[in-house]
Structure 1
Amino acid sequence: MQAASADESSPPEGAQGKGRPWRRWVTVGVSVAAVSLAAFLLYRTFSRYSWQELVDSVASVPVGNLLLAGLFAALSYLCLTGFDWMATRYVGKRLPYPQVALASFLSLSMGHTIGMAALSSGMIRYRFYSRWGLSNEEVAKVILFCGLTVGIGLIALGGAGLLVRPDLGQRITGLGEPAMLALGAGCLALVALYLVLAAFLRRPLHLWRWSFQMPGLRLAIAQVVIGTTNFMLVAACLHQSLAAFTEMPYLGIAAIFVIANVTTLISHVPGGLGVIESVVMFILKGEDVIGGLIAFRCIYFFIPLAIGGTIFLLTELVFRARGRQGQEQTGQSNPAPA
C-alpha cells in the first residue's frame, strides 16, 4: 500500500495555494450536504417524540445493559489502537505502543463523530505522527492501511453473519436465501483473496496512479482478526443498548449494523448521525428502540468525543509549550552577534 511520495504529490513551490480552488468548494459542498442530510435524518427520526418521551426512553435502559455497552465500546477503542500499531509496523516504524494508542484514540474518538475519516482523523494522525518522525508518505500509508483494515473487518463480519443466519439477511434485504448465501460466501472469498495476495504477491499492485504494496501474511491475518473483532464489539455495544427494547438476536443486530455502516460510508454523514438510527428503525419496524439508539450514540460516539477532545486540547498545549521552550533554548545557545 504505497502512496505517492511527498515530492511527487506536492505542488511546486510558489504554486501552493493556487492549485485547484474548485476542489475546496467541492469539499465544502460535500460537507454541507452531509451535515444537512444528517440533520434531516435526525429530524425525521426524532420528530414524532417529545423531549420527555426521549428522556424516559433512555432512562428505561437497564443499568446492567449500559455498563456492558460501555465495556464493549471501551474494548472496541482498545481494538482500534491495534489498527495503528499494525500500520506503523507496516511502514517500518516501531513507535512505542502508548504513543500509537494516543494517536489512534484521539483521531478516532473525534473522527467517528466529525465524519470524513480521511480528512478528520487523518489530519489528527498527521499532527501526531509527523511530530514523531514519520514522513508525509508514511502517514498517508498509515491512514490507508487503517482504512483498509476497516473495510476488511466490515466485509468479514457481514459475510460470516450472512452465512450463519441467512434468514436475517432475507428479512433485512428481501432477497432469497440462495442470494444471501452467495453474498456471504462472496464476502468471505474477498477476504481469502486478500490473504492469498499477502502470502504470494511481493510486487506492488497498481491501480490507476496508485501502487499498493501488500503487507506480509502475518500482518494481513492480524488485519482480518482485529478488524473483524472491532466490528463485533461495536455490534455488541449496539445490541446491549437495544436489548431492553427488542428481542433481535446479536447476529441480527450485527447484520443491521453492517448495513448501517455501509450506508454511512456511502453518504459520508458525520459519524453516521441519523443514518444508523434511520436504518435500525426502518428494519425494526413496530419496535420502539429510540431510547437504546440514543444510549448507543452517547456511549460509543459522544462520551469518547468529549474525552478525546479534552485530551487533544491538553496535548496541543503540551506540544506548544515544548516548542516554545525549545525555541528559547536555541536562542540562548546561539546569542546574536554583538
Structure 2
Amino acid sequence: MFQTLVTFVRDRVGFKRIVLGVSLAMLAIAIYVLVHKLKNINWSKVFTAITEIGPGTLIIAGLFTAAAYLTLTVYDYFATRTIGREDIPYPACAIGSFTSYSIAHNLGATVFTAAVVRYLVYSRYKITAPEVVKLCFIAGLTFWLGNATVLGLGFVLEPEVVTPVVEAFGIGGSTVRMVGFGILVALVGWLIFVSQPRKFGRGAWVIKLPSAKLTALQMVIGIVDLACCAAILYVLLMAMPHAPDASFQAVAVIFCASMLLGFATHAPGAAGAFEATLLIALPPLGFAPESVVAAFILFRLYYFIAPFLLALSLLAVRELTSGNRSLDHLKESMAAIRAAEASHEAAKHAAKPGPAE
C-alpha cells in the first residue's frame, strides 16, 4: 500500500509540487513570525548597537567570513576529484566555489543557479553539463552531511536551545534529543552503507559515492565551514550591549537550524526564516531582540551582500578577459544546465519499470 501511495504521489501530484508547496508554506509562516517579532523592535537601539561595535570585532568577523568561504573552496576541490576531474586546478575550484555559492545564496533557486555559475567557470576545462550536475550533488552532499552532524550533536547536547522554536508544535526537549540521536544513527548508517563501493544512476549520470573514509572527511569539511559561519554571528552577538555569557555551541546549533530552515524555503539569502528563527531562539539565551536584529543585519552584510558583490565583479572580470561574449556564454550555460536536467529526468523515467502486460 505504501508503494502504491508513493507511486500515486510521484505520478499524479509530483514530488516537486509537494516540495514547492511545503516551502511556500514555511516561507509564509516565517514572514508572519518575523513581521510580528519586528513590530516591537526599538530601531534606535538597533542602530546604536551597530555603531558601538569596535573595529576589532569587525575585523574578527571579517576573518571568520574569509575562513568560511575558504572552506567552501574545498567543497568544489573535493567534488571535482570525486567525479574524476583531477585536471581542474585548485584556483579554478576556488573561483567556481566562491562565485557559485555567493551568487546562488543571494539569488535563490540555489541548485540551478549554482550549476549555471559553475558551468560558466569550468567550461574552459571542457566540463560537461552532467559533470557539473554531479559536482553540485557531491558538494551539496558535503554541506548536508556537515549540517546533519552539527545538528545531530547539537540536538543531543543542547536540546533546550532548539525547544523555543518547536514548542509551539508541542515538541519538547526530550523529543529534540531523540531526533538528534536519530540523525546520528542515520549518519552512522550512511557511513556503513558507503563502506562498500556504491554508485547509482545510468550512463552519463552514474555517480560514485565517496567511500566511508572520504565521507568522514566530508563531515569534517562541513563542520569546519559551519563553525566559521556560526563564529561570524557569535562574535557579533557577543559584542552587543549587555550580551549574556552564551556558549558558542548553543549559538552554533541555533545558527545551523536557522540556515537550514531558511534554505528549505528556497528564498533568496534564506531571508525570512533565518531571521525569524534567530528572533525566536536567541532571546531565551539572554540576548535582547534589538541585539539579535543588529547582529543578523551585520551578518548579512558580511556573509551575503559583500561576497555577492565581490563574486559578481570577479565573474564579470573573468568573463570579459576570457574573450567570450559574456551574455552569450551565460545563455549557453543556462541552456546546457536545463538540457542536462531534462536529460536526467528522462533517464530517471526510463529507469522506472513499465506497467505489467
Report if aligned partners of 1:76, 1:230 keep a CA contact under 8 Å in 2.
Answer: yes
Report if aligned partners of 1:37, 1:269 keep a CA contact under 8 Å in 2.
Answer: no
Q: Which residue of 1 aligns with 2:108?
A: 115
Shift in Å at residue 260 of structure 1? Answer: 1.0
Which string of whole-angstrom CA distances, capped at 9 and with x for unpartnered residues, describes residues 20-69 of structure 1?
A: xxxxxxxx999999999998777666565577554323112233222222
Report if aligned partners of 2:161, 2:281 keep a CA contact under 8 Å in 1.
Answer: no
Match of 1:290 among 283, 289, 293: 293
Q: More displaced, 304-313 or 28-37?
A: 28-37
TM-score (norm 2): 0.73
Amino acid aligned to 1:114: L
Aligned ranges 1:244-259 → 2 under 5 Å: 244-245=239-240, 246-259=244-257
Is 1:83 matched with 2:75?
yes
Aligned ranges 1:194-273 → 2 under 5 Å: 194-200=190-196, 202-205=197-200, 212-245=207-240, 246-273=244-271
Is 1:181 matched with 2:173?
no
Q: Distance in 2 between matches of 1:121 and 1:144?
A: 11
Q: What CA RMSD, in Å, does the superposition of the two structures yield over aligned residues? A: 3.3
Q: Distance in 2 between matches of 1:170 and 1:37?
A: 18
Query: What stretches of structure 1 move > 4 A for 4+ residues in a row?
Result: 28-54
Q: Which residue of 2 aligns with 1:59?
A: 51
Q: Across the two proteins, how many residue pairs are aligned to each other?
A: 296
Q: Tell me the secondary structure at the aligned position of residue 253 of structure 2.
A: helix
Shift in Å at residue 267 of structure 1? Answer: 0.9
Identical-residue share of aligned pairs (%): 29
CA 1:277–1:322: 2 relative to 1, 3 Å: closer
Aligned ranges 1:1-338 → 2 under 5 Å: 53-94=45-86, 95-174=88-167, 175-200=171-196, 202-205=197-200, 212-245=207-240, 246-285=244-283, 288-320=291-323
Q: More displaced, 48-57 or 181-190?
A: 48-57
Amino acid aligned to 1:93: R
* Larger helix fraction of residues: 2
Report if aligned partners of 1:197, 1:214 keep a CA contact under 8 Å in 2.
Answer: no
CA 1:147–1:321: 2 relative to 1, 3 Å: closer
Shift in Å at residue 108 of structure 1? Answer: 1.1
Shift in Å at residue 203 of structure 1? Answer: 4.2
Amino acid aligned to 1:191: L
Amino acid aligned to 1:194: W
CA 1:271–1:163: 2 relative to 1, 3 Å: same
CA 1:166–1:53: 2 relative to 1, 3 Å: closer
Higher relative contact order (CA 8 A, sep 6+): 1
Shift in Å at residue 315 of structure 1? Answer: 0.7
Report if aligned partners of 2:142, 2:219 keep a CA contact under 8 Å in 1.
Answer: yes
Q: Distance in 2 between matches of 1:319 and 1:37?
A: 45
Q: Distance in 2 between matches of 1:313 and 1:101?
A: 16
* Residue segments in structure 1 that go unaligned for 5+ positions in a row: 1-27, 324-338
Which string of whole-angstrom CA distances, capped at 9 and with x for unpartnered residues, describes residues 173-193 of structure 1?
A: 334443233211211222222
Report if aligned partners of 1:57, 1:290 keep a CA contact under 8 Å in 2.
Answer: no
Report if aligned partners of 2:46, 2:290 keep a CA contact under 8 Å in 1.
Answer: no
Q: Distance in 2 between matches of 1:55 and 1:222?
A: 41
* Residue segments in structure 2 that go unaligned for 5+ positions in a row: 1-19, 284-288, 327-357
Q: Distance in 2 between matches of 1:36 and 1:168?
A: 23
